Copies of this chain bind each other. A is one copy, B any other.
Amino acid sequence: MKKVIDREICEIVGEILGSYDKGKTIDHTEVFAQPDPDAVIDILKKLFKIVFPGFFRDKTFRFYNISSRLTVLIEDVMYNLNRQVAIALRQNEKYSDESEEEVNLAAEEICVTFFKKIPMIREYIETDVKAFFDGDPAAYNENEIILSYPGLYAIVTNRLAHELHLLEVPLIPRMMTEHAHSKTGIDIHPGATIGKYFFIDHGTGIVVGETTIIGDNVKVYQGVTIGALSTRGGQRLKGVKRHPTIEDNVTIYSGASILGGETVIGRGSVIGSNAFITTSIDPETRVTIKNQELVLKSGKKDVVKNDIDIMEVGNYHI
Contact = CB atoms under 8 A, between A and B. Distances in A.
A57 to B, nearest CB: 4
22 contacts: A5-B108, A13-B71, A15-B118, A19-B118, A24-B123, A25-B146, A29-B54, A34-B147, A38-B59, A135-B234, A136-B234, A137-B236, A138-B210, A205-B223, A230-B315, A242-B316, A255-B255, A259-B313, A278-B310, A284-B298, A285-B297, A288-B294
A112 B8 contact: yes
A278 B313 contact: yes
Q: What is the copy number of this chain in the assembly?
A: 3
A9 B75 contact: yes
Contacts of A148: 37, 171, 174-175, 178
A208 interface: yes
A133 interface: yes
A52 interface: yes
B227 A316 contact: yes
Nearest to A315: B227
Given A91-B141, A204-B204, A209-B316, 17 more contacts: A16-B74, A20-B66, A27-B53, A29-B66, A143-B171, A144-B170, A187-B204, A204-B205, A207-B315, A210-B318, A225-B254, A225-B315, A229-B314, A230-B315, A289-B293, A290-B293, A297-B311
